[in-house]
Amino acid sequence: DAGITQSPRHKVTETGTPVTLRCHQTENHRYMYWYRQDPGHGLRLIHYSYGVKDTDKGEVSDGYSVSRSKTEDFLLTLESATSSQTSVYFCAISDGLAGHNEQFFGPGTRLTVL
């Protein structure tokens, strides 16, 4: 298994509170991604990073921010959580080298916003 951990694995929080999810990798891969997965939808990209301090928005970025201060860590922050952000969040990594475009996923974080 690719060395990817996510923390916390489960979290219950209240509407309006800030939440930060952490993704940590030990593979030294350049690219890191945050997705959310909801019933009736495929995995949807929230934000991604193509290097330290280099990030960009994905398909569903509203209400989320990210930071990457080290190669191994990618943080996802919900500044003020809403019930619509209840979801399972997955982090993924990719080395992005030619012929190696596959992404490897972490175990996920189940977030419930009450």
Partner 1 sequence: EDQVTQSPEALRLQEGESSSLNCSYTVSGLRGLFWYRQDPGKGPEFLFTLYSAGEEKEKERLKATLTKKESFLHITAPKPEDSATYLCAVRLGGSQGNLIFGKGTKLSVKP
User: Which DSSP helix (H) or strand (E) runs through 20?
Assistant: strand 19-25
Contacts of 63 (CB under 8 A, 6+ apart): 78, 79, 80, 82, 85
Give 19 or 33: the residue with its C-beta nearer to partner 1: 33
d(CA 90, CA 83): 18
Give 56 or 79: the residue with its C-beta nearer to partner 1: 56
- Verify binding: residue 10, partner 1, rule CB under 8 A: no
Give 91 or 113: the residue with its C-beta nearer to partner 1: 91
- Verify binding: residue 107, partner 1, rule CB under 8 A: yes
Tokens 């990209």 correspond to 45
User: Which DSSP helix (H) or strand (E) runs through 84?
Assistant: none
Q: Which of 34, 64, 74, 90 binds partner 1 (CB under 8 A)?
A: 90
Touching partner 1, residues 47-86 (CB under 8 A): 48, 50, 56, 58
Residue 21 Cα to chain centre, angstroms? 7
Contact positions vs partner 1 (CB under 8 A): 31, 33, 40-45, 48, 50, 56, 58, 90, 94, 96, 101-108
